Structures are given as structure tokens and as C-alpha cells.
Structure 1
Amino acid sequence: MSLLPRTDRLPPSTTTPETTPRTGHHRYRPELQGLRALAAMLVVVYHVWLGRVSGGVDVFFLISGFLVTGQLFRAADRGRIAVRVFWGRLIKRLFPAALTVLAVVMAISVVFLPENRWFQTIREIVASALYLENWQLATDSVDYYAQNQTASVVQHFWSLSIQGQFYVVWPVLVASVVVIARMTRQHLRFTLFVVLLALFVASLLHSIWLTTANQPLAYFHSLTRVWEFAFGGLLALGITSIAPSRALRIVLGWIGVVGLVSCGIVLHVGSLFPGYLALWPVTAAALILLAGQTASPLGADRLLSSRPMRYLGDLSYSLYLWHWPVLVFYLVVRDRTQVGILGGLGVITLSLLLSMLTYHFVEEPVRRSRIGEGNRWGAYRFGIAVLVPIVAAAVVWKEVSVRKATAYAISMDDPDHPGAMAQVEGFEYWGAPDPPLLPPLVALPTDWSAITPHTCYRSTRNKDLEVCSSVTDDAPARRLVLVGDSHVHQYAAALGPVARHRNWQLTLMNRGSCPFSTNSETVIGDKACKDWNSAAVKEIVDLRPDAVVTLASRNVRIGLTEETPVGFVEQWRALEQAGIPVLAIRDNPRYNHSPSVCANTHGRNTPQCNIPRAEIIPEVPSYASLDATPSNVSFLDFSNYFCTPEICPPVIGNILVYMDDNHITATFMTTMSAVVEKAVHAALGWELVDQPAS
């Protein structure tokens, strides 16, 4: 949301508000600033206290479409659209405040933000500076291994990015329509209206479809939001032709205000938008614009046009920029998941103060300056001059983080970091007292299990089924397939050293949030997951491995929620018919927080980070109650290596166990190699000295 700062403002000599009832024919709209203020405060209040999305961002998209389309149409009607000048002015208006916030956020993040969030923050700061944050978040929304990341301090730049893209494309679009209208000798207003109407319909239909198919992706996708800008453009072109009575305009204004305020309460905006339900806040805002100036003490415009609301509208851009990082840093510093009444008031007050300082000492001085006026490319040079330092600082921060994240190695005989081996009966620790924990916190988000080196191919049965196998020097002595979701993928780190030593081949068939089952267990009704599993079992039968490793159970959420779905057993039976053994591993516990971050914040032995085992691991595994178990299945339970008999600690053998709230670090899994190797041999009846690699 680029709450474009006062694009509706004419030169100072012509900005005196008019008081006539009709507003369609004049360009300064004092109630529009109040609408900005209302939308901005809704965004802030909903974020701070309700933890929900308000629909205010959609209002800003409509306003931008309304203002920019009107501005470009009037320019075209006068003769031509000065695209270069238009973009140059936007750079002066948008860059100073946005890049100031990014610079401050980056500096504070280095000091206060947990290191495991550094890489995410760096990536998103660069994306935000380049107005690509929505695409970064869209990528993460379909990348399972990025979904576990905590909300970043700049993720609110997604809406600014969409608007930045709009400001680049819209002048070119309108200029193209001008050319078409002149070539076809059609009236410009009519031609532009038809084009915008087509965009509105096409984008809205696409938004409805994608929201149904993949809502997280749809929420950040630029094309699902085009219709909101087009709606504003249609309103700008048609508002002069609409002349409701004063009484009706009073009613329309208050309907719009009430509709806008109630939107986020009535609708689950964050999980249902931007499909057809986004018409609610957009239409509410359109009604307010249609109502315009009523010159009535009963009109909503009396409130929206008041001096405080207009001033808050001036601050809305900076307020939006500041409120989110202030909120996130408050939660981080106070180690909380939500704010109370007083904390929320503090967040809002500080955000307002920062927005006032930014508006008066950054936004306005640059906007009023002669930057870019003495040279046709001056504004662009200014933009590069302020953008490059931000990106350069982020690159330096990333380089430092990478070096810190890779400056360690895990050794199987490291006396300071025994990891899972510390849970073996009779273990005696003889390393240094309190050595540094591994992996370093900055490396935590990337500490995924992997098999290297490997080769991959796409299955002909399903384009989403990627089959990756480790490379062996000779014909492999054994072949194991790991199939299912990320909780099976974890064991690649434990089996990797075994495979290299024993000359085994590991083949990985992995799909995030899609356990090996005949049903879709994580997302009910996910046909893509079900089809993937159907193809995977056929691929395994063709490969005929010596054994298949998969999950025996799944923990749906924190607590005693372990289950063994019927679909799991049905897949095991399919492999039984093919004569393929199955090693079914009990799922590890889930938490409602990151145990590793807790240990880093409060200390490795702090009681508040130790969850009682009885609260998250049932004494009897769920698969023990199955009526009939296929003969080819052997169950493996490594719970005693993730937990002691009494607690499940975040640190075992000086190694962080969890990379987030439910995935085991590859570092800890690597220390389980000897344990897993012994369990696999015992379950399958293989000799422990079976064909070691030379």
C-alpha cells in the first residue's frame, strides 16, 4: 500500500477546499484525506490489537486507481502524458520515507532481532527496497520450507510493492489507450473506460479463482489486485456522470464508513481475500467518494474533512510504514506474542510520533525541494543515490551472516557436541563446560536435511513428483526410499552418513505438508497431494527398493494429538503387495513456539523452555492401537532421543534440537546417525557389518 502522499494536491495557490455540494468536477477532495486516515488507522488498530487484516489496504488500492487514473486522463485530455516526469515525482514522494524506514529497521534488526530471522529480514528488505516484496512473500507462500518463518519486520511492504508496480504500469497503459483512441478516432474517456472495465472483470475473475485454488499466493499476487485499481479508475472516469441527491449522498457516506469499519470484524480478511469478498471494503470506499462533500452537518464528510482527519491523512503513508516494525520490535524486545491495551497504545503513539517526524523532516522537505527540477533525470539520480546504500548495506549484512552461519562443522566424535548420543544409556560427557550451541542461531532457518551429491528427475506420472537419489561410487549395496513430507525428509541427515559409509543409495520423494498416505492429511481435500501420493507409490513399486522409510504417525498440533491415519496403513498395504519392507518412524513432537529461540533468549537450561514430556508425547504410540498392521511394517520410535523421561528440552548434547516449532535441525539429526543405523539394521534383520563401502 503506497498511500501515495497527496497526489490529489494541486499547487498551493489552488488547494483551498471548496464547499459546494458536488465534488465530481473539482479536484481537491478533503474527505479523501479523511478516508486515507480512516483506512490507515483501521490497518494499525487491527494489526496491533486484533491480530487481523482490516481491508484498509484494499481502500488504498482503490484510492490510487482513482487519483492516478484521473490525473493521467486529465493530462492526456490536455495534450500528452509526461511519463518520465510522473515517475520522477513519484520517486521524490515515495523513496525518502520508505528508504528511511528500511534503513532504521535494518540497523535495529542487527541489534534486537534474533539471528535466526536475519536472512529472512535481509531478503525482504532488499525486495521491499526494489518494490518486489509481494512477490517475495508470494514465493514464500508456495515454498513450504519458507512458511515456518515468523512475520518479518517489513512484510507490510507487500502492498507498497504492488502499488509501486501499479505506478510503473498504469501510465504506460493509459498512454497506450490514448494512442489507440486517436488511431480509432474514439472518444478517450469511453475507450479508457472500456479497457479498465475489461481489466476489472478479468482481474476479479482471476482473483476469485486463485483465492479458491491457493489463497496465500493470491493474497500477494499483483494480478489479483489489478481490479481494485481499475475500480478506482472507473470511478474517476464516471463520477462526474453520477449526481445523487444530498440526502442520498449523506446515506451513502455513512454506509461506506460503517461498512469499512466493520469489514475486518465480519470477514476473515487475511484468509479469504482478495476474492469477491474484497468488494466489501472497495465498495465501501467508493461510496464515500461518491458521497463527496455534502455541505451537511450530518454527512460523513464533515468528520472525514475535519482538520485532524486531514492531518492524519497526510501522515498516513509514514504511519503505515512505521506501525508494523514498531509492533514487531515491541513483541521481540518484550518477548511476547501479543500486546495489551497499554502496550498497544504505546506502539500506536510511537508510530504516530515517528510518522510526524518523517512527514515533516523527510517527506515534505524532499517533496518541496528542487531535486530533479534542474535536470530531466535528476529525480532518477536521486532515487539511485538513496536506494544503492540500502541495498549495499543489506548485501554486507548478508555476507557477514553467511560467514557466521557457515563457520562451524559438526563432527561425529566432537566431545563438545555429542547431540543425540548424550541420550544413550551410560553416556558420560567429557567435553568443555558450556561450549557454544550448534548450529549458530543465524544458521537455524537453513539447517535442513539434504542428500549430497544427488541426481534428480521428474516422474512421468506426476509433474510435481521429483525423485532425487544420492550418488554412489559403485552399484549400491542397499537402496532406501524416503517418502512423504518434511518430517521424513529430516531423516536424510541421519541416514546420509550411513549411506556414504555403507554404500547405500538414498532416494527422496518429498512434498511439503503431504505425508505418505492415500488421503490428503494436512489440507483436507487437497487433490494435488492425493495425486502426488498415488504417483509416488507406483514409482516406488517400479524402483523396488530394499526398504521404504516413511512416517508411522503424525502430530497434528501441540499436545497429545498423535494419530496414525487410515491412509498411512493403506499405503503400507500397497507396498506389502509388492513385497517391499516399510520402516515407519514415529513423528516428533510439535510446539507452540520455537524451542531453540527460547533457549537462546532465556538460556539452555531454563525451566520455561523445557516442556513436560507427558504433555506432548503420549505414553503409547498411536500405531500401537491399530487393529491389524501389514506384515511388511517395522516401527521405529526415536522419542527418547528428542526427550528425557521427564522433559523435552530445546538443547541436547549442546546441540539445538529444533529449527522451528516442529522440525528437527539437520545438525541434531546428523548426531543420530549411529542410533538410526543400528535401528534400521535391527528392524530389517540386516547384519551391521553388511557390505561397508571401501
Structure 2
Amino acid sequence: LERLPAGVAGALAGGGLAAVGWAALTYDATTAFPGTAALVPVLGTAAVIAAGVATVATWPGRLLGTAPMRWVGGLSYSLYLWHWPLLMAASAVWGALSPAQGTLVVAAAFVPSWLTHRLVEAPIHHARALAVRPRRAFAVGVAATATALLAALVTVRAVPEYATADAAPGAAVLAPDPAGDPDGAPVDQVPALTPDPLEVPEDNPDIYPDGCQQNAEDADLASCAYGDLDSDRVIALAGDSHAAQWQPALDVLGERYGWRIETYTKSSCGFFSVQTTTAAGVPYTSCREWNEALLDRLTGPDRPELVVTSGSNAYRVWEDGRELGDDASADRLADGLRESWAAVREAGVELVVLENTPWLAQDPAECVSAHPDQLTECAQPRADAVEKAGDEQLVAARELGGVDVVDLSRAICPTDECPAVIGNVVVWRDDHHLTATYARSLASHLEAQLRPYLAGRRSAA
């Protein structure tokens, strides 16, 4: 590496910086992380380091070698430790942070980072007593590590017992009409929790580990099958991650009624005809291409009998060379939903829309880990969560007509406060996605709404 030509070293360093910057600008809450997406910033960082070994000078090397960048590098470990707790604390106080707010919080993290670096980290690094006595330094390190491990063990033991399947009914404890059901009200403590609070963020639908939740870059139409795999009767589940979260419940119903469930889902990409944007505010071209392929599949010769769709309403639309504002995007999104749904109906395929799930102001899964004995601290107002979820799908269904809209929000937030736990099951894996465990427990509530389709009576009518 020391003998790399200047051009190669410069390309490595520049490409590495570009990869890290691209990941920072485009990765969002729907990006599967950790996962293959982590390769982009990791390999980008490795490229920058490899280029830095070369003896030749490169422009990225000169940039990273400036005094301000070296100062930030000196604080990097302290900043690494401080920035995330401050971001979480800010989210707990103010709700979901905008990019500008997040940037300000990270900037504020430089203050405690500098203080702890100056008063704790540097004195330990340069302590003469440790430098002249290596055995003492080793003993201090072992003692500190042992203390941290003991603290972790105490924390793990303080978490409520992991519930067995029989002890974790989830939504099954709710009445058929769950509105106001006291069994769905927030409580401080439950006998056991499932999933384990530490595993909640990874409690994803099978679509994810099976490799069928298409990522943000790929426009190919990926599909997996669930339910009754031998059946010729097909229900297609189509949309973004808010559609994908219903796969566990549909899997149960597919087996129960003899339907094959085929999934067509893509991160941050709903089932609509409009051009949306990425988190960076640029056209999300792979979403548009994926939607064209999806519509061909759902209306082609091998089309399903029924399409079940759902999705987030938090999209910005790109039109006439610019990103539209919130109100204009909402109007055009409703148009795009209606156009795609109309094409499905015109092909003779039944369509059911699952209304978007409530969207919370902060991540209740993190709160459950922090307050396992005070779960009411994790409840959030239902009215705010329903409002934040948006109503573009309702508008589109109303304008199209003849489309059944299924609203299961009362089986998710039965009372005025959305609880973090129902029936010993953690409801949310983040602020706007259900855990796969809770989604599966919603099968009976979904069955009540879809029974005419599942039993085949709706099409016959």
C-alpha cells in the first residue's frame, strides 16, 4: 500500500469519502442496519485508511490532515460515546428530530466530548504511574472491564423474564371490538415480555431474513411465498415496509384458509404511480422502476385474485424538476395511489387497503428497555399518533370508490394512549413499525375484516 501511485491513492480516498457521505445522506430508518448496507460505510472507511498508508500526497489526505479535522479526530472516541445518548435524550424530549435538529445535537455533543477527553481520557493515557508500571496499567484495565461486565449482568437480570408463546397472547387478549378495551390500556408491569426487549429492534417479518424486502438501490421485483405454499389461490401483499409488517398475520391466515401469500415490498417505496424522493431530496428512480414492474405483475397473466396493500404516507413527490412541499406531495401521493389501485381493479383483481398504522413521536422499544417496570412511561397519545400517520390512503380509496379500507388502529392503540405492551407482547419495534410478534397476534382481528375475501364470497358477489 505504501507504493500506491498517486492517482490510485487519490481515487481510493475520494471514493471512500464519497461512500461514507452517500451512506450518511441516504440511509434512513428503513435501511436494514446492521446488514449488507453496513458494507458501504465500512468499505469506504477502509479505502480511506488504505490510501492514507501510501507515501504520496492526496487531496483527501490533505483535507483530513488539516488542523480542524485532526482536532475532531482527537475527540472521535469521546464524541462516539456522547453523541448517541444525547440524540436519544433529545428525541425523548422533542420527538423525532429533523436533520437540522440532529446536526445541532451532534454539534452540542462536542462540549461534553472535549471535557471528558481533557479531564478523563487524556490524563489516563498520559498517566506516568501507568506508563512506568505496565502491570498496574494491565490490572486497571482488567478491573474496569470486569466492572463493566458485572454492571451489564445486573442490567440483564433486571429485565423482566422472556415470555413463552402461551404467556404472550398479544392482541388476542383484546375483544373483537377493541376500542376502549381495558386489556389494551397501558400498565406499568407485566409478568413477562416477548420479544426480549434487547431483541425487539430485530423482531422483523420473515420477509427481511428471507431476502425479499427489496432495498433502496435495487429495482428488481423480489418475491417470497408464505401461507399455503401448495395453493393456486394467491393473495399479493404489496407496498413498503408498512405493508411488509403485515406478512406475519397474512401468513397465519393463508395457512388457515388455503391461500398462497406472495410478497412484493420495497423499503421506502409504496405502491403508487408518482415519482418520490430519497432522504437526500433527489428522485427515487429505483422506486419508480420497481412500481412499474410491480404493476405489470399484479395485472399480468399470472395476476393474483386479491391484492392487500398498505404503506407509509411520509413521502415527498418529485415533479417538474423539483421536490414538492408537504401539502402538494400529499395531494399527488393520493393521486398516485388511486392510479395504481385503479389499474389493479380494472384487471379484475380485488383490492384491500390496510390503513397506515399509528406513527409515534418516539421509539417505544427503547423506552421498554429503559423502563421495564414503568411501562406507562412509554405510552403515547393515540390522537397524535393517528394524525402523524396521515390519511392519503383514505383520500385515495374514497376518490376511487369500491375499495375496502381496513383500520386496525384500535387493535394497536385501543385506548387514548398507545401502549408499548399489549398481552405481554411489545407492540412496536420502532416508532412506526410493529414487531413481527405483535403483527402475528393480530391475525384474528385481520381475519374478521378479510373473511369475505378469504372465504371466497367477496369475489363471487
- Alignment TM-score, normalising by the size of structure 1: 0.46
Q: Which has the higher helix share?
A: 1
Alignment of 1:335-354 (within 5 A): 345-354=111-120
Instruction: Tell me the residue number matched to 1:373.
Output: none
Aligned counterpart for 1:499 among listed residues 242, 254, 257 = 254
1:469 equivalenced with 2:225 (yes/no):
yes
Shift in alpha-carbon separation, 1:318–1:353, aligned structure 2, 3 A: farther
Letter in 2 for 1:350: T
1:228 equivalenced with 2:43 (yes/no):
no
Contact preservation (8 Å) 1:140, 1:146: no
Deviation of the 1:577 alpha carbon: 1.3
Contact preservation (8 Å) 1:423, 1:640: no
Letter in 1 for 2:299: V
Query: Distance in 2 between the 1:604 and 1:137 partners?
Result: 40
Deviation of the 1:650 alpha carbon: 1.6
Instruction: Tell me the residue number matched to 1:239.
Output: none
Query: Distance in 2 between the 1:327 and 1:538 partners?
Result: 46
Deviation of the 1:595 alpha carbon: 1.3
1:531 equivalenced with 2:289 (yes/no):
yes
Instruction: Tell me the residue number matched to 2:169.
Output: 418
Deviation of the 1:571 alpha carbon: 0.4
1:565 equivalenced with 2:334 (yes/no):
yes
1:613 equivalenced with 2:382 (yes/no):
yes
Deviation of the 1:627 alpha carbon: 8.6
Contact preservation (8 Å) 1:552, 1:635: no
Aligned counterpart for 1:589 among listed residues 358, 361, 375 = 358
Shift in alpha-carbon separation, 1:684–1:324, aligned structure 2, 3 A: same
Q: Which has the higher contact order (CA 8 A, sep 6+)?
A: 2
Query: Distance in 2 between the 1:615 and 1:351 partners?
Result: 41
Deviation of the 1:475 alpha carbon: 3.4
Shift in alpha-carbon separation, 1:349–1:445, aligned structure 2, 3 A: same
Query: Distance in 2 between the 1:661 and 1:457 partners?
Result: 19
Deviation of the 1:504 alpha carbon: 1.7
Letter in 2 for 1:545: P
Shift in alpha-carbon separation, 1:330–1:590, aligned structure 2, 3 A: closer
Instruction: Tell me the residue number matched to 2:424.
Output: 654
Aligned counterpart for 1:511 among listed residues 263, 266, 281 = 266
Q: For residues 72-109 of structure 1, what are the alpha-carbon distances to aligned partners after superposition, in whole Å with 9 as ceiling and x for unaligned?
A: 99xxxxxxxxxxxxxxxxxxxxxxxxxxxxxxxxxxxx
Counterpart of 1:617 in 2: which secondary structure? helix
Letter in 1 for 2:252: P
Counterpart of 1:483 in 2: which secondary structure? strand
Letter in 2 for 1:656: V
Instruction: Tell me the residue number matched to 2:203.
Output: 447
Query: Distance in 1 between the 2:429 and 2:33 partners?
Result: 9
1:322 equivalenced with 2:92 (yes/no):
no
Alignment of 1:37-56 (within 5 A): none
Shift in alpha-carbon separation, 1:682–1:496, aligned structure 2, 3 A: same
Shift in alpha-carbon separation, 1:284–1:352, aligned structure 2, 3 A: closer
Query: Distance in 2 between the 1:627 and 1:457 partners?
Result: 25
1:633 equivalenced with 2:392 (yes/no):
no
Deviation of the 1:556 alpha carbon: 5.7
Letter in 2 for 1:421: A
Instruction: Tell me the residue number matched to 2:98.
Output: none
Deviation of the 1:656 alpha carbon: 1.2
Letter in 2 for 1:586: E
Deviation of the 1:351 alpha carbon: 1.9
Deviation of the 1:418 alpha carbon: 2.2
Instruction: Tell me the residue number matched to 1:550.
Output: 309
Contact preservation (8 Å) 1:604, 1:651: no
Q: For residues 590-644 of structure 1, what are the alpha-carbon distances to aligned partners after superposition, in whole Å with 9 as ceiling and x for unaligned?
A: 2232012223323565554322222232499555555964455211111101112
1:675 equivalenced with 2:445 (yes/no):
yes
Q: For residues 215-259 of structure 1, what are the alpha-carbon distances to aligned partners after superposition, in whole Å with 9 as ceiling and x for unaligned?
A: xxxxxxxxxxx7523xx3xxxxxxxxxxxxxxxxxxxxxxxxxxx
Shift in alpha-carbon separation, 1:329–1:616, aligned structure 2, 3 A: closer
Shift in alpha-carbon separation, 1:659–1:456, aligned structure 2, 3 A: closer
Query: Distance in 2 between the 1:604 and 1:428 partners?
Result: 19
Contact preservation (8 Å) 1:562, 1:622: yes
Letter in 2 for 1:493: P
Q: Matched residues, percent identical?
A: 23
- Unaligned segments of structure 1, at least 5 residues: 1-67, 74-130, 150-154, 175-195, 197-225, 233-281, 286-303, 370-385
Q: For residues 317-362 of structure 1, what are the alpha-carbon distances to aligned partners after superposition, in whole Å with 9 as ceiling and x for unaligned?
A: 5433223213435666897788799986444211223342354259
1:489 equivalenced with 2:244 (yes/no):
yes
Q: CA RMSD in A?
A: 5.2
Query: Distance in 2 between the 1:624 and 1:577 partners?
Result: 20
Query: Distance in 2 between the 1:684 and 1:498 partners?
Result: 8
Q: For residues 515-545 of structure 1, what are the alpha-carbon distances to aligned partners after superposition, in whole Å with 9 as ceiling and x for unaligned?
A: 0000134536322211110111001222221
Letter in 1 for 2:449: A
Shift in alpha-carbon separation, 1:499–1:465, aligned structure 2, 3 A: same
Alignment of 1:338-487 (within 5 A): 345-357=111-123, 359-361=125-127, 411=165, 414=166, 416-424=167-175, 425=177, 434-450=190-206, 464-470=220-226, 472=228, 474-476=230-232, 478-487=233-242
1:643 equivalenced with 2:421 (yes/no):
no
Query: Distance in 1 between the 2:42 and 2:230 partners?
Result: 52
Query: Distance in 2 between the 1:626 and 1:488 partners?
Result: 16
Comparing 449-458 with 662-671, greater Cα deviation is found at: 449-458
Letter in 2 for 1:599: V
Instruction: Tell me the residue number matched to 1:166.
Output: 51
Counterpart of 2:243 in 1: which secondary structure? helix
Shift in alpha-carbon separation, 1:323–1:428, aligned structure 2, 3 A: closer
Larger radius of gyration: 1
Query: Distance in 2 between the 1:531 and 1:659 partners?
Result: 29
Shift in alpha-carbon separation, 1:324–1:452, aligned structure 2, 3 A: closer
Letter in 2 for 1:228: P
Query: Distance in 1 between the 2:213 and 2:415 partners?
Result: 43
- Alignment TM-score, normalising by the size of structure 2: 0.66
Shift in alpha-carbon separation, 1:534–1:158, aligned structure 2, 3 A: closer
- Unaligned segments of structure 2, at least 5 residues: 7-15, 35-39, 95-103, 135-140, 184-188, 317-325
Contact preservation (8 Å) 1:470, 1:506: yes
